[in-house]
Structure 1
Amino acid sequence: MTFTPPSFPTFLVGKIHTEFTGKVFIYWLGTEPFLYIAEPELVKKMSTHVMAKCWGKPNVFKDDRYPMFGTGLVMAEGHHWVRHRHLIAPAFSPLNLKSVASRMVDCANEMIMRWSTQINNSAAAAAGGNGVIIDVEKEIIETSGEIIAKTCFGGTQDEDAKQVLQKLRALQTALFKSTRYVGVPFGRFFNVKKTLEANKLGAEIDRLLFSVIRARKESKNDDGIDLLGLLMNGGGGGGGGGVGNDVLTEREVVDECKTFFFGGHETTALAITWTLMLLALHPHWQIQLRHEIFQLLPHHNNNPFLHINLLSRLKKMQWVMNEALRLYPPAPNVQRQAREDIQIEGLMVPKGTNMWIDVVAMHHDKELWGEDANEFKPERFMEDVNGGCKHKMGYLPFGFGGRMCVGRNLTFMEYKIVLTLVLSKFSFKLSTSYHHSPSIMLSLRPSHGLPLVVQPL
């Protein structure tokens, strides 16, 4: 079974079905061939038999997304990726994560105070006890951004961090909310205004981060316990980070900060957002989680005491998180590109072929999950970390293999802290103004926000 990219440009979209009917086929973006994969067995074979050096990130996406990620960990490959991963991973060790937990609690409590003030200032809510409508997606995105800012900069350059986040969001819109011509020769010239805007925003973000890094270098009060300090000091300050005196250059630190700022706050915020939407639709699960929180965590004046070592007690919350990530994975697909010819049993993937692994499709596949694949059923994860999926590679909320998300433990911690605090104070119902329209804008997000009726307990 083989397929060969044509030797001439084509703008026609074609499909060649293989033995995995409808789950593996070829399509085209301009002159770029893509192998679409929604078959976990093929993903398994490729991840098992293909050497890491044999595939990387599609060049067409690396060029397209350079202003946002540069050559950071998301886009790095080969020796460059190995070195960066080795230097960065210790920054997400349990010891370093403990040091930022209190900052997450502070940011979440500030959001809760804003919501309480809105409710108290609403005469109708106060009179009827009905709460107020809040765009929870916007609020969670903002709070998660504040958490990332404090986690990355330690709260010493809040204004710079806010500007970086604002410009990254504007850059995301410029890159993904307009007509794009990925794979079309000279496609960037078809929408020059957006291309120039994206490049301009990317350069502005770089300047901001360079200034922050240089100011940090000149500071005599750097304790190195935030991400920026850890990256500048070689990854972990004795926690197994750099090799010898190996540290990241300023340019590399900037690219990793951009990657962390975007990926770190966007992924977690959307996981929490989709969870609150699902809990609003299934209030009995709100009750179960609230009961678990008050039963298993110590409290003072009706406020849960949060410690990183106690979060593992929240088993039902973990089930809910796993199910939310299954139904609405913030990273809806994984992309690869063959760096050389890849031969797997009867399939030959020629050098240069892009691969589009559809995570959303696999997470909703009834052959893998059963007839209730589209239903919210957290209990499916009660006794199985894969939720009863018939194939271990059918559940990929954080990617797979060596390139699995390095910051996933930070996501777990932030998710549980924020959800614990908001569920301890409020209940949620879906507003009649909500329009369900998930869309892919690099990540999977609600197109029209998430208006919820937020009621105090």
Structure 2
Amino acid sequence: MLGFLLYLFMKLLFSFWIHPIRAYRKLKKNGFGGPTPSFPLGNIREMKNSMKNNIINNNDSSSLSVASSAVSHDIHSTVFPYFARWQKSHGKVFIYWLGTEPFLYIADPEFLKEMSSGVLGKSWGKPNVFKHDREPMFGNGLVMVEGDDWAMASLMVEPATKMLDRWTTLINSGKPEIDVEREITTTAGEIIARTSFGLSYQNGSKVFEKLRAMQITLFNSNRYVGVPFSKLMCPKKNLEAKKLGKEIDQLLLSIIDARKKSWDYESPQKDLLGLLMEGKQVDGRAGKSLTARELVDECKTFFFGGHETTALALTWTLLLLATHPNWQNQLRDEIKEVIGDGEIDFAKLSGLKKMGWVMNEVLRLYSPAPNAQRQAREDIKVDDLVIPNGTNIWIDVVGMHHDPAIWGDDVFEFRPERFKDDHLYGGCKHKMGFLPFGFGGRMCVGRNLTTMEYKVVLTLMLTRFSFSISPSYSHSPSILLSLRPRHGLPLIVQPL
């Protein structure tokens, strides 16, 4: 017993003390600087204090109505105050620590290009520390499936129309102020449930509500990712997350079992769940059949990511259009010219060019996915620097999207026309400076479905209503895994 305890002590000492010290020295020797960490929290304490001060400052200014102060799109120092401060001291590439885990911070598109240009898919992956931390929410889902035929796009219209009819009822009852963020998020959840899994509203809303509860549980609490035995520091939150995870698993398993019982081998249902169950186009390996566990994990990941990105893109779009009514009018004119006054012809959606500019500009200013993460699976050389095997990599998308050095002096302005002549990069001085859907082999495969849903729902909204900022709106973008308005988005909605 004494020998076993000594062995366990030595193993823990090596894992949580000796190994991190060696990694720290190696990174310093390889030329990487950064804020000085302290055992066992790394730089977490400094990050939490920075966020706490930022929230206090925002709350102090929240009493100011939007009518008396312009909405500022310079949000990097709001959502990532510690990164903004560290950039001033250490540049756009440096090392910081979450507990005993080193992270290479990157907000330099040229460094990102050099790093990724010679890297094969097997040379990096998702950080293990985040896989373990977020396992109850996503499992091991990779979201590597994309259907060939999105004819089910017509299923998007009914949930969106139902939402707009509800708005009309509220307005007629004398309640023109509507929290559109909550409304759009719920509707986007119903859309992804129907188009990707063939679920009824009732079953889809159950999954969505539990995923949202888990998101709040995991990402709106004092967490210590990377700290030894961190799960023991917040046992109640971790147990709650695991319980929600099991409930979601059981719900999805019952849905999968029901689909299997009604499976038609001659003409299987061509939604996302059908493609996954057929084993097509999964992780680039044709014909790979998935286990029940893998199916559940893929469904959880796609269900969350599939509705969250579109919902937040639409939410931030309405904020920007509410503060720029001239662009509301431009989009309405384009809709009338391209789509007409009748039902939406999905073949014509690609003709909504200005709407595409607006979407890209929204994704630049308020990217729903504020960062991308990788982990080096082997040593990666970038010029004279070496990123050691095992190093976590944090790519600051918000930082690059708001960098005047690569976007110019108007970087904080809402200017969709910047994408008129350069619809892919918006005149960005570096192609790796605009990453609305990630990059490389792990670029978001749902981007085409997101774009279609965005155009369908926004078209329906703009042809029925006009939008303006409510005096009660407090501009406070925050990170809850995704970038979202901390206090919702109340708008004054008026029928046309």
Q: Same fold judged by TM-score > 0.5?
A: yes
Corresponding residue for residue 475 of structure 2: 436
Corresponding residue for residue 110 of structure 1: 162
Say whether 1:141 aligns with 2:185.
yes
Residue 21 of structure 1, CA deviation? 5.3
- CA distance in 1 between partners of 2:161 and 2:137 (Å): 30
Does the Cα contact within 8 Å between 1:108 and 1:421 map onto a contact in 2? yes
Does the Cα contact within 8 Å between 1:49 and 1:344 map onto a contact in 2? no
Say whether 1:391 aligns with 2:430.
yes
Deviates more, 1:178-187 or 1:21-30: 21-30
Say whether 1:2 aligns with 2:30.
yes
SS at match of 2:337: helix
Residue 10 of structure 1, CA deviation? 4.7
Deviates more, 1:390-399 or 1:146-155: 146-155
Code of the residue aligned with 2:313 in structure 1: it is A
Code of the residue aligned with 1:276 in structure 2: it is L
Code of the residue aligned with 1:167 in structure 2: it is K
Corresponding residue for residue 141 of structure 2: 72
Say whether 1:277 aligns with 2:319.
yes
Q: Output one character per residue of 1:261-304: Cα deviation in whole Å (capped at 9) or x when no partner.
A: 1000001000000000000011100010011101111323xxxx
Code of the residue aligned with 2:457 in structure 1: it is V
- CA distance in 2 between partners of 1:408 and 1:187 (Å): 35
Corresponding residue for residue 453 of structure 1: 492
Residue 109 of structure 1, CA deviation? 0.6
- CA distance in 1 between partners of 2:255 and 2:198 (Å): 12
Say whether 1:185 aligns with 2:202.
no
Give the direction of change, closer, same or farther, for the CA distance of 1:62–1:296 in structure 2 (3 Å limit). Answer: same
Corresponding residue for residue 228 of structure 1: 273
Residue 188 of structure 1, CA deviation? 1.0
Residue 54 of structure 1, CA deviation? 1.3
Corresponding residue for residue 117 of structure 2: 48
Does the Cα contact within 8 Å between 1:24 and 1:35 map onto a contact in 2? yes
Code of the residue aligned with 1:290 in structure 2: it is R
The runs of 5 or more residues in structure 2 that have no matched partner are 1-28, 47-82
SS at match of 1:337: strand
Equivalent residues in 2 for 1:287-298 (5 A)?
A: 287-298=329-340
Does the Cα contact within 8 Å between 1:176 and 1:441 map onto a contact in 2? yes
Deviates more, 1:265-274 or 1:160-169: 160-169
Give the direction of change, closer, same or farther, for the CA distance of 1:49–1:196 in structure 2 (3 Å limit). Answer: same
Q: Output one character per residue of 1:39-98: Cα deviation in whole Å (capped at 9) or x when no partner.
A: 000111111111221111111100000011111015xxxxxxxxxx3xx23x2x2x2x12
Say whether 1:379 aligns with 2:409.
no
Does the Cα contact within 8 Å between 1:234 and 1:241 map onto a contact in 2? no
Code of the residue aligned with 2:192 in structure 1: it is I
Residue 20 of structure 1, CA deviation? 11
Equivalent residues in 2 for 1:162-241 (5 A)?
A: 162-219=205-262, 223-235=268-280
Say whether 1:101 aligns with 2:145.
no
Give the direction of change, closer, same or farther, for the CA distance of 1:136–1:290 in structure 2 (3 Å limit). Answer: same
Corresponding residue for residue 461 of structure 2: 422
- CA distance in 2 between partners of 1:220 and 1:373 (Å): 51
Give the direction of change, closer, same or farther, for the CA distance of 1:109–1:350 in structure 2 (3 Å limit). Answer: same
SS at match of 1:310: helix
Does the Cα contact within 8 Å between 2:119 and 2:380 map onto a contact in 1? yes
Say whether 1:11 aligns with 2:11.
no
- CA distance in 1 between partners of 2:260 and 2:459 (Å): 37
- CA distance in 1 between partners of 2:263 and 2:227 (Å): 50
Say whether 1:153 aligns with 2:187.
no
Corresponding residue for residue 450 of structure 2: 411
Give the direction of change, closer, same or farther, for the CA distance of 1:220–1:399 in structure 2 (3 Å limit). Answer: closer
Does the Cα contact within 8 Å between 1:27 and 1:33 map onto a contact in 2? yes
Code of the residue aligned with 1:387 in structure 2: it is G
Corresponding residue for residue 128 of structure 1: none
Residue 9 of structure 1, CA deviation? 4.8
Give the direction of change, closer, same or farther, for the CA distance of 1:20–1:409 in structure 2 (3 Å limit). Answer: farther
Residue 11 of structure 1, CA deviation? 3.3
- CA distance in 2 between partners of 1:294 and 1:188 (Å): 55
- TM-score scaled by length of structure 1: 0.88
- CA distance in 2 between partners of 1:164 and 1:445 (Å): 20
Code of the residue aligned with 1:248 in structure 2: it is L
- CA distance in 1 between partners of 2:172 and 2:361 (Å): 34
SS at match of 1:35: strand
Code of the residue aligned with 1:377 in structure 2: it is R
The runs of 5 or more residues in structure 1 that have no matched partner are 75-84, 126-131
Q: Output one character per residue of 1:313-333: Cα deviation in whole Å (capped at 9) or x when no partner.
A: 100000000000000000000
Corresponding residue for residue 339 of structure 1: 377
Equivalent residues in 2 for 1:294-309 (5 A)?
A: 294-300=336-342, 305-309=343-347
Residue 307 of structure 1, CA deviation? 2.4
- CA distance in 2 between partners of 1:52 and 1:225 (Å): 29
Say whether 1:365 aligns with 2:403.
yes
Match among 351, 356, 361 for residue 313 of structure 1 = 351
Residue 228 of structure 1, CA deviation? 1.2
**How well do the aligned residues superpose, as a CA RMSD in angstroms?**
2.4
- CA distance in 2 between partners of 1:361 and 1:431 (Å): 28
Residue 424 of structure 1, CA deviation? 0.2
Residue 401 of structure 1, CA deviation? 0.4
